[in-house]
Structure 1
Amino acid sequence: MTTSQTDWQQLAWAGIKLLAPSDWYVTQLRVTQNESYIRMEDDDMVRFELSCATVSPIQQINLREHAEAILSKMAKEAKKRGEEFSQSVDTKLVGRHQVKGRDVLTFSWAGRYIGEGMLWWCGKCGKVLVAHVIGVKGERLKELAKKLFTSISDHSEDEWHSWKLFGLDLKVHSSMRLCGHKVEAGFVRFQFKRGDEESLEVARWSTADLMLKGTTLDKLAAQVLKEHLKKFEISYRHVQFGSSSHEGIELYGKAKMPLKTFQLFLRQLTKRSLMPKLRGLMWKCDNTNRLFLVLAITASEGMSEFEHVINSFKCH
């Protein structure tokens, strides 16, 4: 199948964006402050891996040296398995002009499977990316890999990062770090934090009609937020959300108990005397039969970020 016959999907996380075939799905995701890793598979095998690490933008990276080290390790592993392995460095599958001036080096390898690889370094953000597109012998892999590699963007042009994974599609401020995520059949949740007290949670549930059978959205929200109800006095109002006027409830909460004296003292010293507040929105998307939740805990001055997240959210 050629790239023109392939349906493509866009993925985004932690400042990175790319296109991948729509029948590939994410099976692994790891994100820390300076590193990230993603793996995609189809129904038969691993098809794509990308790892990213941030170094100093002034630290020049020897891409050929890195590529040779990667291929040397792969060759040793193939030898242990008793498999033949061949490799080629600097295949020129992608050039600097195709990746907006980043330093780039492509390579290829063949063993039990075949692969097209790419290393690149961005002098603006300091990110070093290593990507592999994997296929089977006889597959027209170069064309597919070239389209995927040239679609990659390694940093946002503003302070907002797109997150487009597992049926979620929104923008989160770059100062928010992913601290946890959960992916199960019918349920996805991403949790972000900034410091010790500010957090953002986004979640998606499938089969909204079944979840709401015999109950209401506000009662379901109370179940979902039962841990937060221990710490916050939460009120709500019914709203119509989005251009499709989805049924939703808007949530407001204030802390039940004052902070400990020492914490309050530290807040005053750092001029952060405002108590944390909760703000949220939960709604049903009739177009996709899904439920969504966006929940922020932050100081009052941070609520404009919540509005930005909500306005960026695409549920269908």
Structure 2
Amino acid sequence: MSDVAEPLADLTKLFGWNGLTCQIPAHWDVTSVSGSAKSGYFAFDDEQDRRLEIKYERAGRMRKPDLERTLSGYFAALKKKAKSNQELRLDDGVRVPGVQTMPPEYEIRSYGWEADAITRGLIWHCSTCHRIVIAECRARKNRVNTKEMAQVLTSIRCHCEGDTAPWAVFDFEVFVPREFDLGVSRLQAGLISFSFSAKRRQLVVDRLGMGQVVMKHSSLDAYVRDVHYKKLRKIRLRFQPVDWNGHKGFRFEGEHRRVYDWLPALGARIRAWRVSDHIAGLAWFEEPTNRIYIIRAEGPDCAELAEKVAASARSRIAGQVWGNR
């Protein structure tokens, strides 16, 4: 049994954030992302409506959560928020098909409620990662597809057990070693950016749209060095052209400039010892998708880390998957 969400069908895509993964229909997209590894919230919409919400928080290791009490409290909150003229029907006995396929460490309860839409939900506590997850799919009464709702809900996984975890949003996904924590993320039109850190190491993953516009006004190495990473101007970067998955790009490496650089013999020895000063990465232009990828790592084994992460980066454009994974 996989610890990462398995594909539902050909027309689905992966969402992954802080170890939580799920497979959603290709025409759904995440519209709200918030929180940290301890707690978080995600919302997903299709072209018309809100379709999926996921909330999670980490419970204490010393006590087993009372899911019945948590669900009762959630129902009470729904009743309180319901409009006075709105009929709200709650059912904690609704069965969601496929729950038995979920990992055995999940203690699961299913539920449903109806108002102007029909909702099916799951709440569970995981004895491995100690997260409590509440996830629910909804649809208007004239658009209900209970099979799809059940498939999405039962595809959700609250933690990953391999060496890497997927960070997947919109049409982009990349796999990052699990020991890295997210520092800053930017989800903008034309830019998806993640900045991670671990002990003595940094990792930045960027995917830019409108690559042809960038390439029209600048070479890729000049863009990385002079525009995209302004702080790298003070770093001695060396560029090596490379064919990456059939796309033109380059590897780059360098070191932070330090005072001891003025002493050539001593400086070389210190730089070899201070591996935290080392920087390495890859950048390439994927012409069929008009995307630019830039992966940069700092610290020990930075070249190996950048190569591994770059090999996992891919995009799903118009139903086609581009990349190396």
Shorter-chain TM-score tier: 0.7 to 0.9
2:264 corresponds to:
none
2:218 corresponds to:
215
1:265 corresponds to:
none
Matched, 1:134 2:134: no
2:304 corresponds to:
304
Contact 2:206–2:293 (CA under 8 A) maintained in structure 1: yes
Query: 1:202 corresponds to which letter in structure 2?
Result: V
In the aligned structure 1, how far is the partner of 2:305 from the partner of 2:275?
A: 16
SS at match of 1:158: coil
SS at match of 1:140: coil
2:90 corresponds to:
87
Given candidates 172, 175, 190, the residue that maps to 1:168 is 172
1:203 corresponds to:
206
In the aligned structure 2, how far is the partner of 1:5 from the partner of 1:160?
A: 23
Extract unaligned runs of 5+ from structure 1.
Answer: 260-271
Contact 1:96–1:103 (CA under 8 A) maintained in structure 2: no
Query: 1:63 corresponds to which letter in structure 2?
Result: L
Contact 1:188–1:205 (CA under 8 A) maintained in structure 2: yes
Contact 1:208–1:290 (CA under 8 A) maintained in structure 2: yes
2:288 corresponds to:
287
Contact 2:98–2:151 (CA under 8 A) maintained in structure 1: no
Mapping 1:35-184, distance limit 5 Å:
35-57=39-61, 59-79=63-83, 82-94=85-97, 97-101=100-104, 102-184=106-188
TM-score by length of 1: 0.85
- Cα deviation, 1:59-87, whole Å, max 9, x if unaligned, reads 322222111111110111104x5422110
- Cα deviation, 1:80-131, whole Å, max 9, x if unaligned, reads x542211001312146522122211111111233211110111122121111
Given candidates 232, 239, 246, the residue that maps to 1:228 is 232
Change (3 A) 1:68 1:258: farther
In the aligned structure 2, how far is the partner of 1:160 from the partner of 1:127?
A: 19
Contact 1:116–1:141 (CA under 8 A) maintained in structure 2: no
Aligned residue pairs, count: 295
In the aligned structure 1, how far is the partner of 2:63 from the partner of 2:232?
A: 45
In the aligned structure 2, how far is the partner of 1:175 from the partner of 1:163?
A: 13
Change (3 A) 1:108 1:94: same
In the aligned structure 2, how far is the partner of 1:16 from the partner of 1:51?
A: 10
Query: 1:161 corresponds to which letter in structure 2?
Result: A
In the aligned structure 1, how far is the partner of 2:240 from the partner of 2:188?
A: 30
In the aligned structure 1, how far is the partner of 2:10 from the partner of 2:113?
A: 23
Mapping 1:213-292, distance limit 5 Å:
213-222=216-225, 223-230=227-234, 232-242=235-245, 245-257=246-258, 274-292=275-293
- Cα deviation, 1:184-203, whole Å, max 9, x if unaligned, reads 221111111225x5321111
Extract unaligned runs of 5+ from structure 2.
Answer: 1-7, 261-272, 316-321
SS at match of 2:307: helix
Percent pairwise identity: 20
**Which stretch of the first structure deviates more once superposed, 66-75 or 47-56?**
47-56
Contact 2:208–2:293 (CA under 8 A) maintained in structure 1: yes
Change (3 A) 1:27 1:118: same
- Cα deviation, 1:102-161, whole Å, max 9, x if unaligned, reads 211111111233211110111122121111112112332422221111112222121211
Change (3 A) 1:302 1:250: closer
Structure 1 vs Structure 2 CA RMSD: 2.3
Query: 1:221 corresponds to which letter in structure 2?
Result: V
In the aligned structure 1, how far is the partner of 2:93 from the partner of 2:219?
A: 59
In the aligned structure 2, how far is the partner of 1:297 from the partner of 1:186?
A: 25
Change (3 A) 1:152 1:275: closer
Contact 1:16–1:153 (CA under 8 A) maintained in structure 2: yes
In the aligned structure 1, how far is the partner of 2:183 from the partner of 2:255?
A: 23
- Cα deviation, 1:38-61, whole Å, max 9, x if unaligned, reads 111122221111112222455322
SS at match of 2:82: helix
Change (3 A) 1:16 1:183: same
In the aligned structure 2, how far is the partner of 1:144 from the partner of 1:57?
A: 34
SS at match of 1:212: helix
Change (3 A) 1:57 1:141: farther
- Cα deviation, 1:175-233, whole Å, max 9, x if unaligned, reads 111111112221111111225x5321111111211221143112222211212223x22
1:263 corresponds to:
none
